[in-house]
Amino acid sequence: MTAMIIVNVPEEMVGDIGRIPVEKRRAFGLGAQRMLWYAEDGDVLVLPSPPSTDFMDYVTGLTGTRASTLRFVIPPPGRFGPDILTADRLVDPVFLRDLGKALADRPVDRITCTYSDLAVTAMASAVGVEDALPGHAFSAQGGDALVNSKAVFRAVAAGNGIPIAPGVITDRPDHAEGTIESLLADGAAVMVKQQFAGGGLGNEILSRAEGVRAAGAGSVVVLADRDAVRRYVSDRWEWLTGHKGHSLIIERYFPDSTTVYAEFVADDDGCVLRGAGEILMEPVATGEVIPPQSVGPEEVAELVETGRRACEPFRLMGYRGTLCADAIRTPGGDLVFTEVNGRLTASSHLHVNLIDRVVGRDRRDDRVFLERGGRWAVPSFAEALSRLAGSGLGYDPHSGLGVVVTADYTPVTGRVTYCAVAENLDAARALEERVANLLSDPTA
Amino acid sequence: MTAMIIVNVPEEMVGDIGRIPVEKRRAFGLGAQRMLWYAEDGDVLVLPSPPSTDFMDYVTGLTGTRASTLRFVIPPPGRFGPDILTADRLVDPVFLRDLGKALADRPVDRITCTYSDLAVTAMASAVGVEDALPGHAFSAQGGDALVNSKAVFRAVAAGNGIPIAPGVITDRPDHAEGTIESLLADGAAVMVKQQFAGGGLGNEILSRAEGVRAAGAGSVVVLADRDAVRRYVSDRWEWLTGHKGHSLIIERYFPDSTTVYAEFVADDDGCVLRGAGEILMEPVATGEVIPPQSVGPEEVAELVETGRRACEPFRLMGYRGTLCADAIRTPGGDLVFTEVNGRLTASSHLHVNLIDRVVGRDRRDDRVFLERGGRWAVPSFAEALSRLAGSGLGYDPHSGLGVVVTADYTPVTGRVTYCAVAENLDAARALEERVANLLSDPTA
């Protein structure tokens, strides 16, 4: 069993790469290196740039993978440089030749990638490993773009009786203006969403008055009257349509909701639950808690059951792989689904690797996992590990408790991401308090 | 049981209406009047303009509908005038008020429209008859655009093991050029397709050499070398992408194939066969034969069985209503599927009305139906009927044989469309020979 692990970052996930500031692009590249958590002995890894030795040693030390058995293939820098693995790099002829050599004595029977776009399927075809990518035929015809479109989601969910927020998709400014105004005039808040984007970065919240708390979008825009709505739609039209004439989504926004998800793996027989979690929106995704803590077991059961129904049509269209159904639980107690994603999510590596491989599947039900990005300020990954070791807060395989450093953003943001593993939420929060107080640099 | 029949022509079906020449637009409007064949006693018809009395009397005479019981509602002319029922006309406030009045004493329990786009769903919501449109929730979120997209079709078909022509979808000129050149260099012909279009009008055939017969596209473009391919892609890019940046489809083209279809009705329980037929491409669709004559019963059975599998994922996405799977039978004997359409097709009214209601379902298996447009030149519909009566060739309800005039294009093209109903293909061809020789004006 040899896997090829592809740490790709396609535009269908993050939007027009040319418009992403260089620092954020570098951060995406660093985040993508979390894919190292998937590595097992003998795997072939296709990376944007070499991993740091510190990060590689730490991750493989926890997963029990022998780093010396791994083989790395790194394509030449592409149109956007060496930081992220863009489509052009994956079909580069020099890279494809190198990859062919790397695979010559390692028959690949499984491809794990962030997102199966046309570059990944073309690459798989070029080196003759189409069969290692489940759903290749669907993905090779651009199918994954459908699975990840927020507009397709709304149609398919509505068509299958999955509860979604009241709203519309549109490609007409006048329709957008009328819909937004109508919702605001009714006293509701509004969320506008680009069709393709992730982590709340393509969303904006609109409100008639001040005081709405943002979650799932970077900001709240106050539009006092219809004229303000008209100006907003006109000024933001290019951004709202993804600079590519895409339709946009306009939905009622439910303030003060909890964000949850149920993640599945679609195979030939059905959608198999991988796990559920709760996303911490402050105001966009900064971390998560597994299992969800703000909703009860019955609500989690409903999330899983309805989430599976929301994912199943995409499996029946031909998609194979990770399907994650996102939902909010409103203050009124309703479960409202917001999207389905057909790709590895920021949660996937926690469920597959940190929980099931590092901590162990048998302990899953006795632990709370609290992952958080952007809080722990530290000059380098090595320094983070050193402080962790000195404090006694680091993850202990024997007890299955403690802090794991899951991603290294220090070269760009001066932060690492960590996951506190504890016996309950209070203990997890206590752990992260100690990280903040004892291990993190004071920040301005 | 009162139906509301909506004779709409949306852009998702025919492309950018502003780019359609006025004469062609008028022809679309006349073709849409074929929806009158669906009318039953008491129905409410939403039409682009009043039907001609001659056409109305003739059609209702054959279907046995009492014309006096029908109610017509005609919206004010829209952005593109009075000829076709465009989206803007269906949401016109004056029209919606009139329609509300027309429905006040006629509760509608069924909506029959050409295509359930956002204008139809908004109209249904505005007059409170959403429940009369099966799949309204799906259609109201723009779902029908997915069902009718040739790009979505390719992904879903590939994902479900439905045979499709080798090819790609793309939004990149360099990818298009490379793919076209690669197919042509292999000795294959190529078909390029706009994502949204009907009747072969958004398709073009490309060939390296002269001599390829066009079917399913208006013309064959000879591209002698890669430079010619590059120039073609560059010159035609705006047209290929539907003037809206849509992806285009590039497929291998199989010359001298037979075009067939299997049409279904998707309801909550499955896809129910409506009928199969063979499209006459000369070079674009000019008529059809029911049942298919160029393929044998086993091939028709395969067409129906595979066609149903091709349609089923769209039903599971939430679509309800007509689903038609189109395929070609190549000279090599392969059945290759080309698209699925989720709308009433040019064939639907033949199966539902002419065959099952006029001729009678019990005679379906003992008749061949040969419909043909563009051949019978005649100054007016009334004159066509008069000549038909004088010749004794007209349809005879008693024998269930003869010629039916199915559509009236005389105001624009000077032609009517007819359907010859006969006991076999030879007899049907003999009937249309007599129409051509005895009833049609000599043409230049």
Determine, for residues B146 and A155 on separate chains, whether the beta-carbon distance falls below 8 Å.
yes
Whether A146 and chain B come into contact, CB under 8 Å, resolves to yes
Chain B residues within an 8 Å CB radius of A170: 118
Same domain, A296 and A324: yes
Q: Which residues contact A201 (CB under 8 A, 6 or more apart)?
A: A14, A15, A218, A284
* Rounded distance between C-alpha atoms, residue B364 and residue B175, angstroms: 48
Q: Which of B140, B158, B316 sits opposite A313 (nearest CB)?
A: B316
B427 and B351 fall within a common domain: yes
Domain match, B244 and B332 both: no
Q: Are residues B133 and B6 in the same domain?
A: yes
d(CA B313, CA B297): 25
Q: Is residue B443 in a domain?
A: yes
Q: Are residues B37 and B127 in the same domain?
A: yes
List, for chain B, all residue ranges whose pLDDT scores fall below the cut of 70: 197-200, 444
A21 shares its domain with A137: yes
DSSP string, A138-154: HHHTTHHHHHT-HHHHH
Nearest to B432 by CA among B376, B390, B379: B376
Bin B255: left if φ > 0, else alpha if -120 < ψ < 50, else beta: beta
Residues B11 and B105 grouped into a single domain? yes
Rg value, chain B, Cα: 22
Contact call for B138 and A156, based on CB within 8 A:
yes
The answer to whether residue A354 is domain-embedded is yes
**Where a domain ends, among B310, B326, B341?**
B341
Helix (H) or strand (E) holding B233: helix B226-240
CA distance B95 to B112: 18
Does B205 lie in the same domain as B122? no
The C-alpha of B26 sits at a distance from chain A's nearest C-alpha, in angstroms, of 26
**What does the buried/exposed string (b/e) look like for B93-125 if buried means 16 or more CB atoms within 10 Å of the residue's CB?**
eebbebbeebbeeeebebbbbbbbbbbbbbbbe
Per-residue model confidence (pLDDT) at position A198: 64
User: How large is the greatest C-alpha to C-alpha distance in chain B, in angstroms?
Assistant: 66
* CB of A133 less than 8 A from some CB of B: no
- Which of A125, A136, A250, A317 to mutate to probe the B interface, most B CBs <10 Å? A317
Question: How many folded domains does chain B comprise?
Answer: 4
- Domain membership flag for residue A64: yes
Distance CA B172, CA A142 (A): 13
Please list, in sequence order, all residues whose beta carbon lies within 8 angstroms of the beta carbon of residue B416, skipping any fewer than 6 positions away: B376, B378, B381, B384, B405, B407, B408, B409, B410
Q: Which of residues 316-355 of B touch A (CB under 8 A)?
A: 316-319
The reply to whether A232 and A324 lie within a common domain is: no
Residues in chain B with CB shorter than 8 Å from the CB of A135 are 159
Question: Inter-chain contact A318–B158, Cβ cutoff 8 Å?
Answer: yes
What is the number of H-type helices and E-type strands within chain B?
16, 17
Cβ-contact A43, A16 below 8 angstroms: no
Contact B94/A at CB under 8 A: no
Any chain B CB within 8 A of the CB of A10? no
* B268 domain residue, yes or no: yes
Sign of CA dihedral A88, A90, A91, A96: positive
pLDDT at B198: 64
Residues with Cβ within 8 Å of A250's Cβ and at least 6 positions away in sequence, in order, are A167, A168, A169, A170, A176, A179, A180, A183, A190, A191, A192, A193
| Binned average pLDDT, 10 residues per bin, chain A of 444 residues | 91 78 89 93 95 95 97 94 92 94 94 94 94 96 92 96 93 90 95 79 91 83 96 95 84 94 98 96 84 95 98 98 97 95 94 97 96 96 96 97 97 96 97 96 80
Would an 8 Å CB–CB cutoff place A404 in contact with chain B? Answer: no
Q: Which domain holds residue A123?
A: 2-146
Of the CA atoms within 13 Å of residue A356, those in its CB half-sphere come to: 11
Same domain? For B16 and B142 the reply is yes
Q: Which of A234, A215, A218, A238 is nearest to A226 (CA)?
A: A234
Tell me if A379 is assigned to some domain: yes
Indicate which CATH number applies to the domain containing B350. 3.30.1370
**pLDDT score for A16:** 76
Please check whether residue A318 lies inside any domain of the structure: yes
Q: B271 touching A, CB under 8 A?
A: no
Q: What is the 3-state secondary structure (H, E, C) of B404-423?
A: EEEEECHHHHCEEEEEEEEC
Q: Please check whether residues A309 and A351 belong to one and the same domain.
A: no
Nearest 5°: phi and psi at A380? Answer: -155, 165
Cis peptide bond N-terminal to A291, omega within 30: yes
| B13 and B129 part of one domain | yes
pLDDT of residue B9: 86
Establish if A106 belongs to a structural domain: yes
